[in-house]
A and B are shown apart, each in its own frame.
Chain A
Amino acid sequence: MDSERDVTRIVRSWLREDGHESADRILDDVLALLDTNTQHLSWWQARRIAGVRNLTTLAIAAAAVVVVAVVGINLLPSFGGVGGPAAPTSAPSDAPAARGTPGPDSWSEIEPGNHVIATPQMRIHLTMPAGWKGDETGIGLFPGVWTGSLYLAPATYEVSYVLTDVCAAEADIDLIAVGPTVDDLTTALVNQTGIQRSGPTDVTLGGYPARKFVLNLLPSCPTRDGLWADASRTYGLGLRHGETGTVYVVDVNGSRLIITSSAMNGASSEHVAQLEAIAASIEIEPVPNAEPLAGVGPGGWLPIGSHSLTVDGVPFSFTVPALSYDRGWARYRKVYISKDTVGPQGAEAAIYWTGFPDSADMVPCPNLLGLPRDASAGAIATKMAAAPGTELVVGPTDVIVGGHEAKHFVLTVRETLGCDPGFFVTWDPAGGGPGWWTTNAGDTIRVWIVNLDGKLFVLVGVSTEDASTSLEQEIQDIVDTIQFE
């Protein structure tokens, strides 16, 4: 053979010949199977990026219809609207996850009239027209086509960084730190390049002075998962092509409030007018003596080292291993931590934690196993270890976790049964986070049921078939570091 070039030419020519396969039969078969194969739940919105700078995404991402993972927002009827007088609550920043599958199909219809979005810092009164939907995390309109959707929501985290160039390639993304004032953020957004921007325009929102920006991606630039980031460098405010984003930076007695809205370019003029009317109806009521905004959003990368959480009243700590070859573990709220190593989509390992049986999480599949509320760790382990659709690999055995007795077993999932016994990871997809919400065939499930002086605490480590041995070991390593206070 004469040269490498010849070999390449021959191989390329060989690969391109005999290309007469017909996929018609396959297509027919697949399309016929769609009706009997329900799509798996999504976690929507919170996108983690395989960027070199360890950026993750906050909930207000470019999918743009539902604003999820905005922790601690309650959409409450008020002013005598449907549901009676307002129930002024300031949900804690680690409030339990919203229930139901995020997305337009699960939103409840909002009655026309006055409502309140209550954050720990502000109560945002707004007047809703008919036809809009929302959940505890935002309001939006999905008129049947994606390109016609709209939303509005406040940010409940502090914006600490702004992308310097929205159009930069992912590997070249750079952030600039911004201070806490309206002027700080305004200046940073004005200096942001690679984006089509109008503003800042001085407006009044909710009775307070505000700077308004209207933003669009440049046609030649990539869809952006976030235009800014919180202190953990987790993205917020995603923007995609065909979407117009509006940012209000409001000066509420010296405190910075950020409200964002989005309208896909296919939204009707009537709906856009409704969105503008909703914004115009906003009245802002600061919460006296409120705690400052959270420095980080509901998720983010975990620095190597020790971390503390309180889940279902159980305070504990764990240590993220010191590994530098990949992007590390990320936490989503208090529900789980997860990690991906082999690509840009999806985690390959996750650890979920919850109390039992009174936790708001871990429902409803354990119930389907017929576990009584007063079940012992051993009884739970025996029942779970024999769950249909799984194959027991290890245990149940007696182990020690964090100095406490625990039952441990390992299963592999053999059948995709939906939310049936065997699917232990069934936390409601409250939105956001690089994890998954059901286990799939091929996944490995490691369960530790820890007896904390009579109170049970359940740890579930899940890994996919793609997970490397070292990644699986990291699950065990992290569990080994758990200490209960």
Chain B
Amino acid sequence: MDTDLVIRAQRGDKGAYALVATEIASRFLAVARRILRDLDLAEDATQQALLTIWLELPKLRDPARFDAWSYRLLVRACYAEGRRERRWASELRLLPVDQSLADRGLSSVIDRDQLERGFHRLSLDHRTVVVLHHFLDLPLERVAEICGIATGTAHSRLHHAMRALRAALDADTRAPVREVI
């Protein structure tokens, strides 16, 4: 991010912030969607994050750290939306695997489905680390900074998450899993 642009936005330059927001909005939405696995929630989180960034920007003490700081606000917004999701998600039931897909041998589709399920079972903490690391290609040190956790914790969360996702995929290779409604 252009630091001068950030500084101008810090000083209340709406035009500058429009440029900042334009540059980051699509990426934010992509990250939020992957963490939340829900486009509506992701849009709400992205909008909230972009607005919060504008409001809080004067408090950013080092404009050079805008990227990490803004991702942190996005992650917070995702957590907030994720909490909303949990409140109503508890009333939902899991649907069974679409056996017809498995029968047709569409392993990649099954992979996606199993990954989706496995990912949904992860906590937001774990999802966030996976997305920041494997989607944004951020090193775990930066992931830790964004999440406000120790680097070791980021390693641990990633390890746990990937092990869980592997288990989800392994389960699929053994036999189609059907979950009872």
Chain B residue at smallest Cβ distance from A343: B148
Give Cα distance in the complex from A125 to B18, angstroms.
43
Tell yes or no: B143 within 8 A of A by CB: no
Interface readout for B131-146 with A: 1 if CB under 8 Å, 0 if not?
Answer: 1001100000000011
Chain A residue at smallest Cβ distance from B162: A7
Q: Given A10-B115, A16-B135, are A34 and B162 neighbors across the interface (CB < 8 Å)?
A: no
Give Cα distance in the complex from A105 to B17, angstroms.
18
Q: Restricting to A20-40, which residues have a CB under 8 Å from any CB of B? A: 21-23, 25-27, 29-31, 33-35, 37-40
Whether the Cβ atoms of A29 and B47 lie closer than 8 Å is yes
The residues of A that contact B34 with a CB separation of less than 8 Å are 15
Q: Is chain B's interface secondary structure helix, strand, loop, or mixed overall?
A: helix
Whether the Cβ atoms of A23 and B148 lie closer than 8 Å is no
Q: Say how far B83's CB is from chain A's closest CB, in angstroms.
A: 12
Whether the Cβ atoms of B134 and A34 lie closer than 8 Å is no
Tell yes or no: A115 within 8 A of B by CB: no
Q: Given A21-B29, A34-B54, A222-B64, are A14 and B115 neighbors across the interface (CB < 8 Å)?
A: yes
Tell yes or no: B46 within 8 A of A by CB: yes
Give Cα distance in the complex from A34 to B12, angstroms.
10
Tell yes or no: B125 within 8 A of A by CB: no
Tell yes or no: A147 within 8 A of B by CB: yes
Give Cα distance in the complex from A97 to B40, angstroms.
46
The residues of B that contact A103 with a CB separation of less than 8 Å are 11
Q: Say how far B130's CB is from chain A's closest CB, in angstroms.
A: 7
Chain A residue at smallest Cβ distance from B6: A146
Whether the Cβ atoms of A11 and B51 lie closer than 8 Å is no
Tell yes or no: B89 within 8 A of A by CB: no
Give Cα distance in the complex from A466 to B76, angstroms.
9
Chain B residue at smallest Cβ distance from A20: B30
Whether the Cβ atoms of A11 and B115 lie closer than 8 Å is yes
Give Cα distance in the complex from A242 to B17, angstroms.
21
Give Cα distance in the complex from A258 to B143, angstroms.
40
Tell yes or no: B166 within 8 A of A by CB: yes
Give Cα distance in the complex from A342 to B149, angstroms.
6
Q: Restricting to A32-66, which residues have a CB under 8 Å from any CB of B? A: 33-35, 37-48, 63
Tell yes or no: A346 within 8 A of B by CB: yes
The residues of A that contact B165 with a CB separation of less than 8 Å are 7, 11
Give Cα distance in the complex from A31 to B62, angstroms.
24
Give Cα distance in the complex from A35 to B54, angstroms.
11
Give Cα distance in the complex from A119 to B42, angstroms.
54
Interface readout for A1-21 with B: 1 if CB under 8 Å, 0 if not?
Answer: 100100110111011110101
The residues of A that contact B59 with a CB separation of less than 8 Å are 40-43, 345-346, 436
Whether the Cβ atoms of B166 and A43 lie closer than 8 Å is no
Tell yes or no: B61 within 8 A of A by CB: yes
The residues of B that contact A158 with a CB separation of less than 8 Å are none
Whether the Cβ atoms of B51 and A1 lie closer than 8 Å is no
Whether the Cβ atoms of A27 and B62 lie closer than 8 Å is no
Whether the Cβ atoms of A37 and B42 lie closer than 8 Å is no
Give Cα distance in the complex from A34 to B8, angstroms.
15
Whether the Cβ atoms of A4 and B162 lie closer than 8 Å is yes
Q: Say how far A148's CB is from chain B's closest CB, in angstroms.
A: 11
Q: Restricting to A419-475, which residues have a CB under 8 Å from any CB of B? A: 434, 436, 466
Most chain B beta carbons < 10 A, residue from A21, A29, A40: A21
Whether the Cβ atoms of B166 and A223 lie closer than 8 Å is no
Whether the Cβ atoms of B130 and A21 lie closer than 8 Å is no
Tell yes or no: B160 within 8 A of A by CB: no
Interface readout for B13-33 with A: 1 if CB under 8 Å, 0 if not?
Answer: 010011001100110111001
Q: Given A23-B46, A27-B25, A30-B21, are A37 and B55 neighbors across the interface (CB < 8 Å)?
A: yes
The residues of A that contact B130 with a CB separation of less than 8 Å are 11, 15
Tell yes or no: A131 within 8 A of B by CB: no
Tell yes or no: A344 within 8 A of B by CB: yes
Tell yes or no: B169 within 8 A of A by CB: yes
The residues of B that contact A26 with a CB separation of less than 8 Å are 25, 29, 43, 46-47, 50
Tell yes or no: A225 within 8 A of B by CB: yes
Give Cα distance in the complex from A215 to B84, angstroms.
52
The residues of B that contact A38 with a CB separation of less than 8 Å are 55
Tell yes or no: B170 within 8 A of A by CB: yes
Give Cα distance in the complex from A385 to B56, angstroms.
26
Chain A residue at smallest Cβ distance from B27: A23
The residues of B that contact A47 with a CB separation of less than 8 Å are 61-62
**4 shortest A-B CB distances, which residue pairs?**
A42-B58, A342-B148, A23-B25, A47-B61
Chain A residues engaging chain B, CB cutoff 8 angstroms: 1, 4, 7-8, 10-12, 14-17, 19, 21-23, 25-27, 29-31, 33-35, 37-48, 63, 103-105, 146-147, 222-223, 225, 240-242, 342-346, 434, 436, 466
Chain B residues engaging chain A, CB cutoff 8 angstroms: 3-4, 7-8, 10-12, 14, 17-18, 21-22, 25-26, 28-30, 33-34, 39, 42-43, 46-47, 50-51, 54-62, 64-65, 68-69, 72, 76, 111-112, 115, 130-131, 134-135, 145-146, 148-149, 162, 165-166, 169-170, 173
- Listed by A's residue number, 13 A-B pairs whose Cβ atoms lie within 8 Å are A4-B162, A10-B111, A11-B134, A25-B43, A26-B43, A35-B14, A38-B55, A40-B56, A40-B58, A45-B61, A223-B3, A223-B62, A466-B76
Known: A21-B42, A23-B28, A41-B58. 5 other contacts (CB 8 A): A11-B165, A17-B112, A38-B55, A223-B62, A345-B72
